[in-house]
Amino acid sequence: MDSLELSSAPLRRGPSAWGPPECAWPRSGKPGGRRNQDWSCSLIVASLVGAFGSSFLYGYNLSVVNAPTPYIKAFFNETWGRRYGHPIDPDTLTLLWSVTVSIFAIGGLVGTLMVKLIGTFLGRKHTLLVNNVFAISAALLMACSLQAGALEMLIVGRFVMGVDGGIALSALPMYLSEISPKEIRGSLGQVTAIFICIGVFTGQLLGLPELLGKESTWPYLFGVIVAPAVVQLGSLPFLPDSPRYLLFEKHDQAGAEKAFRTFLGKEDVSREVEEVLAEGRVQRNIRLVSVPELLRTPSVRWPVITVVVTMACYQLCGLNAIWFYTNSIFGKAGIPPEKIPYITLSTGGIETLASIFSGLVIERLGRRPLLIGGFGLMTLFFGTLTVTLTLQDQAPWIPYLSIVCILAIIASFCSGPGGIPFVLTGEFFQQSERPAAFTVAGTVNWLANFAVGLLFPFIQKSLDTYCFLVFAGICFAGALYLYFVLPETKNRTYAEISQAFARRNKAHPPVEKTDSAETDDKNTETPGPDPSSTLDNDVKNGIV
């Protein structure tokens, strides 16, 4: 590719003409009483529509297969008998069901590897729009599989839906990160996690027997996927793409200025555009990097390691194990089996409330306390859960304590580790590195997801309830690493975050490498005020 002018400047975005008239942010970097002005109407619509057609579907597809499990297995058995004249072997049925569930993660990995290529040519917004083709195709395949009598359609549909999830979990956080002002970048980024939790809850709710969780209606559970995709297709085209993408990858300054005005809600965006252009001039020789180049770059070594660790802990922290034990623990507490699906809804509700809480406080408390505290609390409650499960027959109240531990683990996860890893991936890297960084993060996310699905049955069979000690150890190790390595990124520009890692990397970020080249350029030009040097001074003084 040709060299692209890319920068690590902060993104100052907001609404259109129907948003608030003026949205000037404090030069000190502290939002203070003006925080509400950063939330423009266009910014809210972009985040809600983007998440509803993307991360919502990911969460929905995590939980939607649980309720119709016996009906899907019966469908597999009936189809097999009609084709081959005899019932399916139990081991073959288990294998087919395992493939149906786990192939979602394989599709997610494929989607993650596709997103850099698609995003480079189409931009963030149009990548999200094109991704709806996968969602609608998957919905039609899965919803029509029973009528067509083809179990392969259900399996292929799950794979295609995984591709949709892989693209969504990379393109959506990237888009939200690039359209949000730094003062609310964390809160806006948490919209991804909030809608994942809402999707999980919706899948549990629609799977109830009174709704779509019946033998005659389970295909409609998968057909519902069409609705969010159609809503996004009908709404997102009216909003602009990322101003940073338009400015540095499409070289469309007029389009970028229009996008700034839409997302900022004011006419005069010259200061925001000039600040981004100034950093772009400092980094004029930087081009969009590939994944191998990102992994070999010394100046981003620790950001990459930190993203890998947080994404691995995000999947390996044991939340999937919680879902495995939920029904049995509720049963031990004396809850009738027919009532358990309704009690299970409480877990989805706790997820949603905790993620909303995280979005509300992330700009006050910061990323570090929520992430480290979340993993630390999960360590504590996993240890307690191990004790209660081991002693659950000793007293009638102990199973209820196990239920409390389950809800506490879910709340701890969703209050920090459930969404902040996606926010950090968008904050750690400059424009030229961000697509490759999300590819790395997504690859780790989906490989770890697949590994948990593959290995957990063996871990559970070998260790029984003591398997939670393994997850407690993973959570503790993650919290310990983040305590010593993770800098606070709250209310910081991309340049400031790069500088925070510079000492540990023992290498300066690219913006500083090109300073000498910029100085040489100045010697051949007429002396005068240089916006880029002004910006550098602002960064050092912490006032950008």
- Domains with residue ranges and CATH for the chain: 38-239 (1.20.1250.20), 293-507 (1.20.1250.20)
The set of residues, in sequence order, having a beta carbon less than 8 Å from that of 512 and lying 6+ positions away, is 502
**The pLDDT value given to residue 346:** 81
Q: How many CB atoms lie within 10 A of CB 329?
A: 22
Q: Are 144 and 219 in contact (CB under 8 A)?
A: yes
Nearest to 165 by CA among 194, 192, 201: 192
| Element (DSSP H or E) covering residue 364 | helix 340-365
CA dihedral 303, 306, 312, 314 (to 10 degrees): -100
> b/e map of 202-227 (b: 16 or more CB within 10 Å)?
bbbbbbeeeebbbeeebbebbebbbe
Q: 67 by DSSP, 3-state: which?
A: coil
- Whole-angstrom distance, CA of residue 397 vs CA of residue 407: 16
Which 3 state secondary structure label does DSSP give 491?
Answer: coil
Q: How far is CA 137 from the centre of its chain?
A: 23
- Indicate yes or no: pTM above 0.75: yes
The whole-angstrom distance between residue 453's C-alpha and the CA centroid of its chain comes to: 19
Secondary structure (DSSP) of 306-363 = HHHHHHHHHHHTSHHHHHHHHHHHHHHTT--GGGHHHHHHHHHHHHHHHHHHHHHHHH
The SS3 of residue 288 is: coil
What's residue 284's pLDDT?
Answer: 52
The reported pLDDT for the residue numbered 21 is: 36
The pLDDT tens digits along the chain (544 residues) read 333 333 333 333 333 333 333 333 333 334 444 445 567 788 888 889 999 999 999 999 988 888 888 898 889 989 888 888 888 888 888 888 888 888 888 999 999 988 888 877 888 889 999 999 999 999 999 999 988 888 899 999 999 999 999 999 888 988 888 787 777 777 888 888 899 989 989 998 998 888 888 888 899 999 999 999 999 999 989 988 888 778 777 777 777 778 777 776 666 666 666 766 665 555 555 567 888 888 888 888 899 999 999 999 998 988 877 776 677 677 766 777 777 778 788 888 888 898 888 888 888 888 899 999 999 999 999 999 899 888 877 888 888 888 889 889 999 998 888 888 888 888 888 777 888 888 899 899 888 888 887 777 778 778 877 888 999 999 999 999 999 988 888 877 777 777 777 777 665 555 444 343 343 444 444 444 443 333 344 333 333 3
Alpha-carbon distance of 543 to 539, in angstroms, equals 6
Q: Which two tokens stand for residue 492?
A: 């910081």
**Dist. CA 192–CA 206, nearest whole Å:** 21
What is the predicted pLDDT for the residue at 527? 42
The encoded tokens of residue 92 equal: 């073959």
Q: Residue 243's pLDDT is what?
A: 81
**CA neighbours within 13 Å on the CB side: how many for 259?**
25
Q: How far apart are CA 203 and CA 344, in angstroms?
A: 12
- Helix residue ranges per DSSP H, 429-466: 434-463
The answer to whether the CB of 236 falls within 8 A of the CB of 49 is yes
